[in-house]
Structure 1
Amino acid sequence: MKPLRHFLSIKDISEKEARLIFKKASEFKENRGKKNLFFLSSQTWALIFRKPSTRTRLSFEVAVRELGGEALFLNSQDLQLSRGEPIEDTAQVFGRMVHGIIMRTFSQKELELFAIYGNIPVINALTDEEHPCQVLSDIFSYEEKRGSIEGKKIAFVGDGCCNVARSWALAAEIFRFHLSIAAPPLYFSPIDNPFVTNTTSIEEACQDASLLYTDVWTSMGKEEEMQKRQIEFSGYQLNEQAVKVASKDVLVFHCLPAYRNKEISAELFKERAEDIYTQAENRLHVQKALLAWVVGKLDASLISE
């Protein structure tokens, strides 16, 4: 029997495993609608979402169904968790009724408890600490257009403490690229590894970068800080000035939703919209391959050469 797999953090996969996922994602993308897939045949996967979602929910529900499974969506108000039931009890019941859990919640610890007590695969669909599915897909999207990300400079402009930036920082060590974060000092990345640098200068972060990346200034759960953050981040916008100092073939990504003329200028978003929407679409293909990996049905023999 194959060991149980979870994807709670970007650290849960090696580069070799990630590249296996990327290869299968490319195959899924190329052949979508042409082949019947049964990686999750006769399986039901629960989507437990305690935070709002557009792309994550849509991409995972479609992914489960296109792999031959059923997706069961539950928000926090649908569960006794909202009334204080212990996670241990909820997780063990889910483990006896469904085949896997895709969870979007606040605490990474809550996700980890589901993995401990559920005895079924658990996938992190976003916590306050990480958004590993987003960044795994982002790296795939970069490499789809520009080749290997190894050795490249990636500039993240905005909150270096947010879940997306944290996952980028952790991924830098796995894929050996250089992440430069431009942010006010209070929002420098807390991830300490030799591939991550912090600066207060957008120009310094974006200089010769191969990818410019941003996210909303105010993450879910921090809405009470919105006014304060709009003042603190007012000088941290991706715009044409940032593009001018970057590499000539620089890509611009945004994990969405995007607030024009805040974290990204309306002009730059419009100019780079095709790449950004492709970045969003690739969530579906990468997550299909991730699901196949999690259930132990992805290995080299299953991938067409």
Structure 2
Amino acid sequence: MKPLRHFLSMNDIEEEEARMIFKKALEWKKNRGKEFPTALQYQTWALIFKKPSTRTRLSFEVAIRELGGEALFLSSQDLQLARGEPIEDTAQVLGRMVHGLIIRTYEQKEVELFAAYGNIPVINALTDEEHPCQVLSDIFSFEEKRGSIKGKKVAFIGDGCCNVAKSWALAAEKFGFYLWIGSPRGYFSPVKSDFVQNTSSVEEAAQDAALLYTDVWISMGKEQEADKRQMEFSQYRIDRRALSVASKDALVFHCLPAYRDKEIALEVFNERKEEIYTQAENRLHVQKALLAWIVGKLNG
């Protein structure tokens, strides 16, 4: 019996495996509506979400259905978890009824516990520590338009401690690109790597970058810090200033939702919205291939 695969972190996948996923994602994107894969046929996958979601929930539910499976959305408030049932108990019961779990929650430890006790594949759909599905898809989106990301410079403008930035930092060495975090001091990336650099200068981070990337200043769960963060991050945005020093053909990505004239200038968002919306769409295609890889049916 093959060992279970989980995707809880960017550390859970090798570049070669990711590139197999990218190849299949591109194929399924081109043939959507013409090709009907059955990797999850007769399977039911549960989605447990403690945090609100648009793109993550939508892309995973559609992906499961397009692979022949059934998606079962479970709000954490509707489960006994909300009344204090241990994750270990919930995980073992779900593991006897469904074929896989996709979890969006606060603590990384929670997805790890589900993976340890559920005896079924578990996917991290976002925690406070990481958002690996987002970054896996983002790398695919970059390479779809610009070729290999290896050796390129990626500039993340904003909170270098946020989950998306952390997943980017873990991906840098794996894929061989250079990540520059442009953020206020105190929000530098905690990931130590020769492929990750921190700076408090937006211009230094963006200089010659092939990709400018940003996320909201106030992540879910940080709402009590809103006033403080609005002030500290007020100059850390993708705008004309950042674009003027980036590579001439630099892409602009935002994992959404976007707050115009905060982390990204309104005019820049409007000019680059096609890139950003394609980036969002690709969550579906990459996660379809990720699900097929997780169950060992990437060719199914």
TM-score (norm 1): 0.98
Aligned partners of 1:10, 1:75: CA distance in 2, in Å? 25
- Please state how far the C-alpha of 1:75 moved relative to its aligned partner: 1.0
Separation in structure 1 between the aligned mates of residue 93 and residue 63 of structure 2, nearest angstrom: 24
> What is the match of residue 214 of structure 1?
214
The answer for the alignment partner of 2:129 in structure 1 is: 129
Match of residue 32 from structure 1? 32
The offset of 1:36, in angstroms, is: 1.9
* Aligned-partner Cα distance in 1 for 2:131–2:202: 23
SS in 2 for 1:57: helix
Alpha-carbon distance in 2 for matches of 1:188, 1:123 = 27
Q: Please list every run of 5 or more consecutive structure 2 residues that lacks an aligned counterpart in the other structure.
A: none
- Would you say how many aligned residue pairs link Structure 1 and Structure 2? 300
Cα-to-partner distance string for 1:213-235 (whole Å, 9 max, x where unaligned): 00000000111111110000001
**RMSD (CA atoms):** 0.7
Structure 1 residue 76, shift from structure 2 partner: 1.2
Question: Is residue 2:138 matched to residue 1:138?
Answer: yes
Corresponding residue for residue 107 of structure 1? 107
Partner residue, 2:93: 93
Q: What's the CA shift string for 1:153-183, capped at 9, x where partnerless?
A: 0000000000000000000010010000000
Please name the residue that 1:289 is paired with.
289
The aligned amino acid for 1:264 is: I
Instruction: Report the equivalent of 2:75.
Output: 75
Tell me the equivalent position of 2:15.
Answer: 15
* Cross-structure match for 2:234: 234
How big is the shift at 1:56? 0.1
1:224-270 Cα distance to aligned partner (Å, 9 max, x none): 11111000000101101111100010000000000000000000000
> Which runs of 5 or more structure 1 residues have no equivalent in the other structure?
none
2:265 maps to 265
Separation of aligned partners in 1, 2:124 and 2:12:
11
Establish whether residue 177 from structure 1 lines up as the match of residue 163 from structure 2: no
How much identity, in percent, do the aligned residues show?
76
User: Equivalents in 2 of 1:36, 1:237: separation in Å?
Assistant: 41
SS of residue in 2 equivalent to 1:186? coil
Q: Secondary structure at the match of 2:260?
A: coil
Shift in Å, 1:52? 0.2
1:171 corresponds to which letter in structure 2? A
Secondary structure of 2:102's match? strand
Aligned pair 1:203/2:206, yes or no? no
2:243: which partner in 1? 243
| Shift in Å, 1:35 | 1.6
Aligned amino acid, residue 39 of structure 1: A
Q: CA deviation at 1:188?
A: 0.2
2-side partners of 1:61 and 1:91: how far apart? 20
- Alpha-carbon separation, structure 1, partners of 2:212 and 2:63: 28
